[in-house]
Amino acid sequence: MSDIFIKTIGKPTLKLDRLNLTDKLSSIRLELEKRNTIDETLSFSKKTPENEFSEIERENEEIFCLKDIRDDVNSCYFLYLIKNSRPSWKILNEKWKLDYGCTMSFDGIKKADKRAFKMKDCELTEIKTGGYERDKLEFESKEDWMKKTNLFIEGDCDDVNILNFLKLGLKGSKDENFNNEVKSTYQYTELAKVSLKVSKENLVLTDDFKNDINDAIKSKDPTKKFRKITKRYGQFIPTEIILGGRFYTKDIGISLKNSADNYIEGSVNAGVRPLSPKMGYDSNSSSQKSKFYSFNCIKILGGEDPDDENFHEKAWIESLKDYQNWDCIEFKDPISIFQFLPDDLRKETIKSIGKKILYTSTEDYDYELYELGRHGIFELRNLPDNILEIILNEEADSDVFATVVDTDEDSKNVFFNCQILKKPKTKPSIIIHGIQEKFKRLKYQLKIKMMIIGFDIHFNLILSDSSVSLYKDVYKSESSCLFNSINHNELDYDKLIAGNEPFLGIPMINRLDSSNNSLVIGHNFCNIQSNNKFRIDTFSYCVKNKRYDNLPDFSFYILIISNNTTQSFTFRFDWWNKPYISFKEPNPRYISLYLTKDINYNPIFLKQKSKEITIEYVNCDCNNTCSICKNKTLKITTDQNDAECKIYSISDSIVMN
């Protein structure tokens, strides 16, 4: 061991330590880190004959020993430390909290108060060519404005993850006025220096975050707990961050009701600085909302502040040679903080949150009925890529609910029924049957309203109050049965009926062949009056043979949508005593028929047109020999009207966004 004087270039004081001259510099670094003598910002250096200091690259510390670089001055050994010319990811992460969760806001990206993960490594790439860029920043919408002012410059607002976090940010901005901001245009100059990419393997879960996640999973209201977690730890982590510098100049003036002399302090986020000190905040300006918004000024991200009110681009670029002057200038590919959890904990989190409505849409479908008993197959072809990925992902455990609408208001003596075909490891399909009073070859223009239900495996709906419960009953056709009843004691009658909570049902088959391709599976919900419990009656009708038939193998799904309401309608009767419900707006609707009395009603089908719902009955060519025709003879009339329609409407959208 030898006495070593340690000198940090640029600092006046020396430190004395005892070190082994034959140790590698990597080992010396570890010793000095223990005593807070060296950190990631400092490199070892060797003094040259010209009294200059050459930096030892970090990767070469395994090559050199202390004796190779120590300076011998009058029999005293000196070790020189110098500021890094190149940053390490640790320096950048420490300065900019790159492994902290983020939330988009009207005022730019907000970093979380607590850290969910600690970065242990990452991919840091120096941008040597193509880093300098001049371009224009324009805003096409509120979403586009929010995206770009939160430093997501590339891509578009159709990116599923970005759009989700944008909507959460816009929701948090309440009634902020975006109109002037959206109309504005900026010229910007950018100098990108490094790209930092982080993956799940680079992040280590903190104990605090792990404990909070486990507490939420075990709680009675996980959604509420997870909402608090996102406030504490943020919503997402960008998986790529560009650091360097960027400055903006206003390109187009905006006509304001206020005087042009009213200036607004401008910044993209907390790191953006307005150039001119004379530019202040005028509290009398009604348009003064966004820190990003201003006019006739320069805004700066990164680089040194100019010494005067004049901006010198050359000097600003020169200042970016020092990484201490860099700033975050762009974020890319944000991922929910919950996606970075270890797989077992991530799966537990998904299950605790429960299933959600992930996607809804209304599609046109031309159904050609050219053969008696012929069915139509609606393939789920036009789904967005992210929804298709979820459907094919077993972890999402997704299901489809659908309803079919006849758009021809003049069509008569026909109605339509749908059920789901779900084969293993394939996309589901919607099977459609047209039931005519008398067969006629016709082509019908239908609308199909569908929703995708499943686990939110990407955590895009973790803050949503809406959740769903799914009940599945499996029926096996081991014996001949035209009519089957399923009792559901676990369904909350008071919430569903008195509380108008939406509930839907649909049959699902896992194969389609000659044994079942002409079978329509119908269902009615019924109140068991003795104890206010539910029963689901299911029945099967063969459109080819025009008679009730044995139920095939199928599963019946019941969907209950929490924190939503349904509308309840009773039937009116036309001149021919046909039950109907009419609407003003031509929207496809999800419908559940609910019988308030448990008596022997004839199986009921529903026909939905754009503005009307009617009750339909089928003709059974059994000559009154089947059990249904013998025993279930009552129909809905003005004197015996125990039927209600529970109507649930939902707008078309990628709900998970």
pLDDT for position 299: 82
Taking only the tens place, the pLDDT of each residue in 166-210 is 777 666 555 455 666 777 788 899 999 999 999 999 999 999 999
Q: Are 652 and 360 in contact (CB under 8 A)?
A: yes
pLDDT for position 98: 96
Choose the weakest-confidence range: 266-275, 442-451, 582-591.
Answer: 266-275
Question: Residue 464 CA to chain centroid, in angstroms?
Answer: 10
Angle between helices 207-218 and 343-353 (to 10 degrees): 30
Looking at the chain, how many residues does it have?
657
Distance, in Å, from the CA atom of 331 to the CA atom of 329, rounded to the nearest integer, reads: 7
What value does the mean pLDDT of the chain take?
Answer: 86
% residues pLDDT > 70 (the chain): 88
- Torsion, Cα 316 320 322 324, to 10 degrees, reads 100
pLDDT for position 296: 45
% residues pLDDT > 90 (the chain): 61
Taking only the tens place, the pLDDT of each residue in 492-509 is 777 888 888 899 999 999
Structure tokens at 645: 């329609």
Per the rule left: phi > 0, alpha: psi between -120 and 50, beta: everything else, 500 is left
Q: Of 182 and 388, which is predicted with more confidence?
A: 388
Q: Are 581 and 612 in contact (CB under 8 A)?
A: yes
For 26-51, what is the mean pLDDT? 92
pLDDT for position 327: 95
pLDDT for position 106: 82
Listed residue (439, 201, 465, 258) closest to 357, CA to CA: 465
Q: Of 183 and 60, which is predicted with more confidence?
A: 60
Question: For the chain, which residues make up each domain, given as ranges?
Answer: 2-85, 90-336, 353-455, 468-648
For 558-579, what is the mean pLDDT? 91
* Distance separating the N- and C-terminal Cα atoms of the chain: 63
Question: Where are the extended beta strands (E) located within 56-144?
Answer: 71-73, 76-83, 102-103, 110-111, 117-119, 123-126, 132-138
Distance, in Å, from the CA atom of 153 to the CA atom of 434, rounded to the nearest integer, reads: 50
DSSP tag of 495: I
Listed residue (228, 236, 229) closest to 210, CA to CA: 229
Helix (H, G, I), strand (E, B) or coil at 61: coil
Class of CATH domain 353-455: mainly beta
HSE-CB at 29 with a 13 A cutoff on CA atoms is 20
Say yes or no to pLDDT of 283 above 50: no
Among 259-263, 270-274, 318-322, 475-479, name the most confident range.
318-322
Helix (H, G, I), strand (E, B) or coil at 561: strand
pLDDT for position 180: 67
Q: 189: exposed, middle or buried (C-beta count within 10 Å: 0-12, 13-18, 19+)?
A: middle
pLDDT for position 176: 54
Class of CATH domain 2-85: alpha beta
